Structure 1
Amino acid sequence: MKKIGTLLLSVILGIGMIGCSSTDKNENIATVNGNGITLGNYEKVLELNKQSIEMYYGESIWDQEVEEGVKYKDTFKEMVLDQMVYTEAIYEAAKKENLLPTEEEVNNEIKDFKAQLEENEDYKKQLDKIGIDDNFLKYQFERDLASEKYKENFNKNNSISEKEMKTYYDEHKDEFYVDEVEASHILIKTTDDNGNELSDKKKEEAKKKAEEILEKAKSGEEFSKLAKEYSEDTVSAENGGDLGFFGKGEMVEPFEEAAFSMKVGEISDLVESDYGYHIIKVTDKVDEQKPFDEVKDTIKTTLEDEKYNSQVEKLKEESKVETNKELLEKVTVK
């Protein structure tokens, strides 16, 4: 599903409040080389992005200050419009290079998009509420497909050489260095289900229990069985305490320090963290530089993106962009 599809699914969960005192939705809120971005289309894109943001950060994000006297909802309006300006600049460039999608391609995207939402009984009603009609879908998918075609063509004509990839690898070797530990653990908690610290008496009882389990583990009893039976980290307990591989900065500090200092097969003494008492068993360690051939595809993608992003910036810089600031000021995010 295209990006718009993902965002629309979030809109189904609830309609937000994007408003503007202007009733002329065909009025241009911005123009790019004379091509208009209408208030109506801007408000719809703004609403789609708003719902997506709220799913991750909650509604309180809008009144958070990004700098003194400036709230996130104000910069958000500008960010969305800026992205639409970029999209319009790419669309025009694609048009000049005869890379626009065909009517059939656009219609197929709309058809596929609708098919993915047919199972939701509130589909039409919710789309109507924010004005997501066929005209908007056509507008959006024309630009989505044009952007894809333009990027694909640009990458084809600006291929990344082996020399460029090797130079990047040599200059960014730290990005491809792997220092990870694979470990299992048994946790005896010193907090309740709400995360509150237990009383001193109960903490002492927890420590005693952990010491008894540690003795069993050190004497040779199977670690995974002990984890399944005793560990209060219920998620990892189901897998015998297995936490998989993790790098530095991914675990709480006392746990990390212990795990990275241990040898493969070693079982730790009790390690205390804010969660409780851990018994750790290191099952594997990786400390190596990934070879060039293993990461060259990743490097290629990175360099392609860098070149393409520079091209998009150039397209915008060369475009004549005019913003109706008075109209933008009237748009509200609540």
Structure 2
Amino acid sequence: MKLQFPKTKRTIIVSFLILGVALSIIVGYWYGNSQQDVVATVNGENISKNELYELLVKQNGQQVLDSLISQKIIEFEAKKQNIVISDEDIQKELAKFHQSYGSEDAFNQALEMSGYSLDDIKKELTLNIKINKLLEPRISITEEEIKKYFDENKEQFAQQKQVKASHILVETEEKANEIKKKLSDGQDFAQLAKDNSTDTMSKENGGDLGFFGSGDMVAEFEKAAFALEVGEISSPVKSEFGYHIIKVTEVKEAQEANYEESKLQIKDTLFGQKAQTEYSTWLQELYEEYKIENFLEDK
């Protein structure tokens, strides 16, 4: 059973990997099976690699090729301008993912379930960082713009009260009461979660769910979690998923929005918005500078 607690489900935002996946299908599969004429059979009738390749090219080929051309141009420009992406640059970006998921472990679990690898993410982050560095000279953000964004989005920068909790999820109340007794007898919460919880997303981390705020969890779970003191363990709590034993491990109290503390985040947001607009214009200018021959367009 894969359990998703937040009403707004946690999903990895990997839109930037979509073209990479298409590329791996079209190119990686093609070359990886270059010695095989037959890629599948149905009742003994063959499907050839040529049929597969032609269909994939017809469906996605031009889009993927455009992406490859763009990537090649970006690499040339980055090299021309001596732009080098360090491991520290990549780690800073990864930290943003970790924060959005509550912890690095939670992010890694979601990543594993998505089918992508950390290397996939790092590769695409490297490309994105290069693009941002190349666009930086073309984008300016004023103090007035930052202040205006803050004033219009104050609620976004105010911190709700949040709790960090772990839980053990089981199917029956009887099982939940049995685990509660073991906890009262001094057994380890994390180990009991690993051994008993049906929540596959959190059990290997000892039931850790990271931080969450109001509205992130189903009502019964949230009400119980927010009523607990740090270190306190709940009685069994019934929800649509089963019976939970909840342990609160940390609390972040609510805070009003603070302009100075929010400036860097706002600047990143505004840069991202402007970069999306500027990217197409910038890339089109480079297309005109480079000699590009697209042989797929003639097919």
TM-score by length of 1: 0.44
Q: Which structure exhibits the higher relative contact order, with contacts defined as CA atoms closer than 8 Å and separated by 6 or more residues? A: 1
Bigger strand share:
1
